Structure 1
Amino acid sequence: MIRSRTSNVKPDIIEEIGYLRGFGVLAVIAIHTTGYFTEVKQFNSLVLVNLWVDIFSQFAVPLFILISGVVLAKNYRESFALKEFYRKRVRSIIPQYLLFSILYTAFNNWDIMKNSALDTNFALLLNSIWLADASYHLWFFSIIIQFYILYPLIIRIYSLFKQRNRAELLLVLMLMIQTFFMAGLHTSYLSGTKINFMGFLFYFCLGIYTWDHFDSFKRKFTLPKSFLFIMSIALTLGTSFFIIIGLTTGYRYDSIPAYFFIGPELIYPVLRVISFLFLFNVSMSFLGKRRSILAKVIKRIGDYSFGIYLIHIFFNQSAIKILKNYQIDFDSWTFYPIVFAVTIILSYLSIRLVSFLPFSYYLVGSQSRNRS
């Protein structure tokens, strides 16, 4: 999960995860910035560059799901109290989700709500909470809630396979189920299906498997960053090939036939695993140079990644509105770096300030260790 409680840091914390969370939330903001290439009317180099960045950055949510698997496997294994487990899961995600669902419902529907009856607005709010669509990025919560509910069953199944030395077989099965499900979403058979966790089963189980082999994996990890980076770029280009065909044959992105996206779904798991390995390699290298500016920045962003994820759409949308007033729009090269920089800086600063408030953990998931 995109989780950060900077008070009460445990001595056995996995430092690499802090950096991975930082990379993950930067990728989320990159997706929500570069995604506006779909508004550009003609296919050109601006569209191409943003498409590549968008595809590469799609590792973000799978990475957070993998981290959730690692953290849960680390803390909850063979026997644990279900009541306490679910109580902690509710405490760690539901207050923040409800608060930001209310805020985003008002933010995105204010013109309608101020002229509507109280019961109409209340119904709108309840519907937004139930469907996790108060803002387009809150869909993540529906996935993580489903995994929290199912975790006791998943870890039991994983343990059964592990006892028979078949954990790798379970990963293969989860990969097949996930891939068939994601490809099926682009067909008439599964289109509109809402059991979103199915599209991330492999990554979650991979997180559990990763924790089981974490120490040996770190010792034996020898793949160079340059090789992993080149592989990530090559797979990104390969994934984009199908979409580029659609864009260059006269379709707008939103009207490209669904079957054009089946090919990318077959490549995505490989691309994302390679991206995970690349980012893990970078994170390990940061451990040896914690005092470097880049390492400190990524670590700080990772510390507040949950709150940044929650709040960043406010600043993203506000920055876009302001830029439009100055005729800087989706067709401009300067639009994308400005929106990205403004979003990450203001999101971080706001969550850092909120973290000093009492009970800020229940607001944004972070509590500053410096608050008395």
Structure 2
Amino acid sequence: MSSSDKNKFWQLVRGVCILAVILIHCPNGAGESISSFNFNSWLIIRRAINFPVAIFIFLSGYFVNIQRVESNCKLFFKRRIKRLLIPYFIWSILANLILISRGLGQGQPYPNWFILLVLFLLGKASVPLYYIVVLLQLTLLTPLLIRIIKKKGRLDKIMWYITPVYLLLIYILNISYRMISLYATVFAAWFLFYYFGLNVKLEQDKWFAAAHKYGRAKYIIFALALSVMEAYVLMCITGVRFSLSQVTFSNFLYVFIIILYLLKILAEPKINYDSKMNRLIVSFGDYSYGIFYLHIFVLDIVKRFITISILPLNTLLIWFATSIFTYLIIMFSNKLLKNSETGQAVLEAIAFD
């Protein structure tokens, strides 16, 4: 596959992932009775689309510029952290301002500023922002992880156990105390996929061979079935919320096999990037970072206008409208601002570039 096609392929993957993120955040059947069709159909759909965060984390590791990290670590940190922190800071402030205005509008007193600071630091000002907090943690570990992988020693093998051991701890705590907070904000929850991405970048032949062997649709279907079964077991033991989580053993197995399948496709290209649908999804991938920040605010507005209570019709309508309006806002922002130096700086600051 040519370099251009590789870029399009991964942008296609990003596009699918960001559309899945929007769908996850749309109104759904999670609040319905657990015996209802709406709840059970959503649980299955949710487990099927529980792949985006792990794949985004994998891609963050896969696209690390290894030479830059090794030759100028400070420059790597400066660029990566700047790229993450500035948009995060801006969108967190916006989210907190909205929280404050809503509280005051309902006659509530001014909020506790310490709580707002905690929300900012933990990525809880808006639903998806914890992802940036995780990436910042993983970014700081990157130079050390590259050295560990290249040495191929015992420590390299130990790294693969960090996430499974952490998951085991989360299961124990969830079973003992029901739902615990912030478990997905700790780097260990997603470490496996970042480390996997770095490994694929550094040892491509090894992982493409594994992808050819294990990256098969039948294994994906099996892992998905296992994930759905685990969801029902977890629901009985820990309640609904954890049963829908992306951070579970079977779901991580599911995503791991999906990534192997993607690597297999990458090695054996069969995609027509000129089709209208693929071009559109690639465009969503190009704007995925901005969509990640913006969609939750657009979604909040769209929900006020689409009030149909029929599931899953309202979910699909809200998902479609949110996806399109978010995309159009970023596209037109680029058309208006990208040709000036100041405009380009604004686009970079809000992650619309």
TM class by shorter chain equals 0.7 to 0.9
1:40–1:47 contact (8 Å) kept in structure 2: yes
Task: Give the Cα–Cα distance (whole angstroms) in 1 for the partners of residues 29 and 266 of structure 2.
Answer: 30
Match of 2:340 in 1: none
Cα drift, residue 309 of structure 1: 0.6
CA distance in 1, matches of 2:205, 2:277: 25
1:60 is aligned to 2:57: no
Q: Per-residue deviation at 1:210?
A: 1.1
> 2:139: which partner in 1?
148
TM (normalized to structure 2)?
A: 0.81
- 1:95 matches 2:86: yes
Aligned residue in 2 for 1:332: 311
User: Do the aligned residues in 1 keep the contact of 2:299 with 2:322 (CA within 8 Å)?
Assistant: yes
Partner of 1:313: 296
Q: Do structure 1's residue 31 and structure 2's residue 24 form an aligned pair? A: yes
Say whether the 8 Å CA contact 1:113–1:121 is kept in structure 2. no
Contact 2:54 2:190 (C-alpha < 8 Å) held by counterparts: yes
On the 8 A contact 1:289/1:295 being kept in 2, the answer is yes
Give structure 1 stretches of 5+ with no counterpart. Answer: 1-9, 368-372
Alpha-carbon deviations, 1:93-143, whole Å to 9, x = none? 11111111122122333232467888x586665343223211121111111
Query: Residues 266-305 of structure 1 correspond to what in structure 2 (within 5 A)?
Result: 266-281=249-264, 288-305=271-288
Asked if structure 2 preserves the Cα contact closer than 8 Å seen for 1:20 and 1:302, the reply is yes
Q: Give the counterpart letter for 1:253 in structure 2.
A: V
Q: Distance in 1 between matches of 2:17 and 2:7?
A: 16
For the residues of structure 2 that align with 1:286 and 1:107, how far apart are their CA atoms?
45
Per the TM alignment, residue 203 of structure 1 is displaced from its structure 2 partner at its CA by: 1.0
Deviations 1:270-318 (A, max 9, x none): 1111222344556667764110122212211111100001011112222
- Tell me the residue number matched to 1:241: 232
The one-letter amino acid of 1:212's match is L
Question: Is 1:346 aligned to 2:290, yes or no?
Answer: no
Aligned position for 2:99: 108
Q: Which runs of 5+ in 2 are unaligned?
A: 338-342
CA distance in 1, matches of 2:160, 2:140: 23
TM-score by length of 1: 0.78
Change (3 A) 1:344 1:75: farther
Contact 1:68/1:204, CA 8 A, preserved across alignment? yes
Amino acid at match of 1:198: A
Counterpart position of 1:51: 43
Root-mean-square deviation (CA, aligned residues, Å) is 3.4
Structure 2 partner of 1:7: none
Work out which of the residue numbers 240, 248, 269 in structure 2 matches 1:253: 240
Instruction: State the Cα distance separating 1:335 from its structure 2 match.
Output: 1.0
Letter in 2 for 1:138: L
